[in-house]
């Protein structure tokens, strides 16, 4: 039987690539739900092509425009965040691909997990903000969480068949982004355009900036803790500029497994959607002769402070990762609007982590309140530093 897929964030980079994977495997998948926040033109085009049962636009102000674009299509149209939370609970949905960016993916993911839906997780912020709640609910509701991030997919693939064996350490690889090797003096001069030029991956603006600042890798560290039930000292980050080895697992006997391949998000998307089976694909194949030298470096956490801040948040636990995420979303937006410099981002995030109320054992309401408090405080600090 075909798996019926709901894609949350279908107009983003992961969402559009997921639809390509579904196009290439029509006997295995069909689209049940598509959602977007504002990009209704592309959402309408996707709906016309893929004929989902329903579409949801989170921004209710755009609903009328979407209705007009789809007036001749047999597609149900809903709007608003409540609709997002409801569609993932439908009996007609088998798997929910969470490809929304940032904190916005948290509540729909919780609703999907509580409804017993398997999750293909591309929204790392969900586990950064509320990993304890998500993992607890997943166990309670017998839900599988299949990672879509290339690094976590790599770890997941390396662990297949190893459930009885102890993990000594995992190594998350990082490309180093466009500013690898830069000095602090050089980083003072970088622009938004510079930060948006990732050397290996094609991603949305927010994730690309996070990659340039290494906050993306910091989030992946926290995500890995929850996905694989690890302690902070079992997680390491190494810079691997070629992005061929996507991550490594070291076992208790000292042996290591690495998952390799060309940088292409379609492979981890396909693996997550159809686990445990591997589907044939026409993805470009890796050739060792094209990459005679694979190199590795230690990340510079003094220059790229965000990675150090993420480890700090992981070690403090409680609502600190939620504070980290909310503050980061605010400063990235400010940087993209050219209100603050690249190096102001970690400075403001660290200040927010020091000022926002710390809660050792937060519940969901605490996370929601923390997110609001952090955004208000961080926005205020941004105005002061402009």
pLDDT for the residue numbered 102: 85
SS3 state at 287: coil
Considering only CA atoms, which of 21, 74, 20, 65 is closest in space to residue 43?
Answer: 65
Strands (DSSP E) along 25-113, which ranges?
A: 29-36, 54-57, 76-79, 95-98
Q: How far is C-alpha 116 from the geometric centre of its chain's CA atoms?
A: 21
Q: List residues bridging with 35 in a β-sheet.
A: 8, 56
Question: Going by C-beta distance under 8 Å and a sequence separation of 6 or more, which residues neighbour residue 23?
Answer: none
Delimit the domains of the chain by residue range. 3-143, 150-263+285-301, 317-386
d(CA 197, CA 29): 33
- How far, in Å, CA of 203 to CA of 102, rounded? 14
| pTM of the shown model | 0.93
HSE-CB at 338 with a 13 A cutoff on CA atoms is: 7
- Of the CA atoms within 13 Å of residue 126, those in its CB half-sphere come to 32
pLDDT for position 202: 61
Provide the phi-psi class of 384: left if phi over 0, else alpha when psi is between -120 and 50, else beta.
alpha
Common-topology check for domains 3-143 and 317-386: no
Question: In a 10 Å sphere around its CB, with 0-12 CB exposed, 13-18 middle and 19+ buried, how is residue 75 labelled?
Answer: middle
Distance of CA 27 to the CA centre of its chain: 27
Strand stretches in the chain, DSSP E: 3-8, 29-36, 54-57, 76-79, 95-98, 118-121, 145-147, 167-174, 235-239, 245-251, 256-260
- The answer to whether residues 379 and 355 touch, using CB atoms and an 8 Å cutoff, is no
Query: Residue 18: CA atoms inside 13 Å, Cβ hemisphere, count?
Result: 35
Q: Give me the tens of pLDDT residue by residue for the chain, a chain 386 residues long.
A: 899 999 999 999 999 999 999 999 999 999 999 999 999 999 999 999 999 999 999 999 999 999 999 999 999 999 999 999 999 999 999 999 999 988 889 999 999 999 999 999 999 999 999 999 999 999 999 999 999 999 999 999 999 999 899 999 999 999 988 899 999 999 999 989 888 886 655 667 888 899 999 999 999 999 999 999 999 999 999 999 999 999 999 999 999 999 999 999 999 999 999 999 999 999 999 999 999 999 999 999 999 999 999 999 999 999 999 999 999 999 999 999 999 999 999 999 999 999 999 999 999 999 999 999 999 999 999 998 76
Nearest to 132 by CA among 365, 352, 317, 378: 317
Pairing relation of β-strands 29-36 and 54-57? parallel
Supply the pLDDT for residue 371: 97
Measure the CA–CA gap between 357 and 368, rounded to whole angstroms. 13
Which of the four CATH numbers 3.40.50.880, 3.30.70.890, 1.10.1740.10, 1.10.260.40 does domain 317-386 have?
1.10.1740.10
- Encoding tokens for residue 364? 């969901």
Q: What is the DSSP string of 243-275?
A: --EEEEEEETTS-EEEEE--S-THHHHHHHHHT
What is the predicted pLDDT for the residue at 203?
Answer: 64
The rounded distance, in Å, linking the Cα atoms of 247 and 155 is 6
Q: What span, in angstroms and rounded, lies between the C-alpha atoms of 248 and 157?
A: 10
Q: How far is CA 95 from CA 3, 57, 63, 89, 231, in A?
A: 7, 19, 25, 10, 29
Query: Please, are residues 122 and 149 in contact by the beta-carbon 8 Å criterion?
Result: yes
Rounded CA separation 156/321 (Å): 23
Fold exhibited by the domain 3-143: Rossmann fold (3.40.50)
């Amino acid at each position: 039987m075909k798996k019926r897929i709901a894609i949350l964030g279908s107009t983003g980079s992961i969402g559009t690539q997921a639809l390509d994977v579904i196009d290439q495997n029509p006997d295995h998948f069909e689209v049940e739900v598509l959602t977007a926040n504002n990009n209704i033109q592309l959402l309408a085009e996707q709906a016309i092509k893929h004929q989902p049962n329903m579409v949801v636009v989170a921004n209710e102000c755009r609903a009328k425009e979407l209705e007009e674009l789809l007036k001749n299509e047999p597609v149900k149209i809903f709007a608003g965040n409540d609709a997002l939370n409801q569609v993932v609970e439908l009996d007609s949905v088998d798997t929910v691909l969470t490809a929304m960016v940032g904190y916005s993916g948290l509540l729909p993911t919780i609703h999907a997990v509580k409804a017993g839906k398997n999750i293909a997780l591309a929204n790392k912020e969900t586990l950064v903000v509320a990993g304890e709640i998500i993992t607890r609910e997943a166990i309670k509701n017998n839900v599988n969480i299949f990672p879509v991030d290339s690094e976590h997919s790599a770890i997941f693939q390396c662990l297949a068949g190893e459930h009885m064996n102890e993990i000594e350490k995992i190594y998350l690889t990082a490309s180093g982004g466009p500013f690898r090797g830069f000095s602090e003096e050089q980083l003072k001069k970088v622009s938004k355009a510079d930060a948006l030029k990732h050397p290996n991956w094609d991603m949305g603006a927010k994730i690309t900036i996070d990659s340039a600042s290494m906050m993306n890798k910091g989030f992946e560290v926290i995500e890995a803790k929850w996905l694989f039930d690890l302690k902070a000292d079992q997680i390491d980050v190494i810079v691997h500029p070629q992005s061929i080895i996507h991550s490594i697992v070291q076992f208790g006997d000292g042996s290591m497994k690495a998952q390799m391949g060309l940088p292409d998000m379609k492979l981890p998307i396909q693996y997550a959607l159809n686990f445990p089976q591997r589907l044939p694909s026409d993805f470009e194949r890796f050739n060792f002769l094209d990459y005679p030298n694979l190199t590795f470096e230690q990340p510079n956490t003094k220059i790229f402070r965000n990675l150090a801040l993420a480890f700090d948040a992981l070690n403090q636990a409680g609502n600190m990762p939620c504070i980290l995420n909310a503050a980061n979303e605010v400063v990235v937006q400010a940087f993209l609007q050219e209100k603050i410099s690249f190096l102001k981002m970690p400075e403001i995030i660290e200040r927010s982590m020091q000022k926002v109320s710390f809660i050792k054992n937060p519940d969901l309401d605490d996370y929601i309140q923390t997110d609001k408090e952090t955004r208000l405080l961080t926005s205020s600090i941004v105005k002061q530093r402009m």
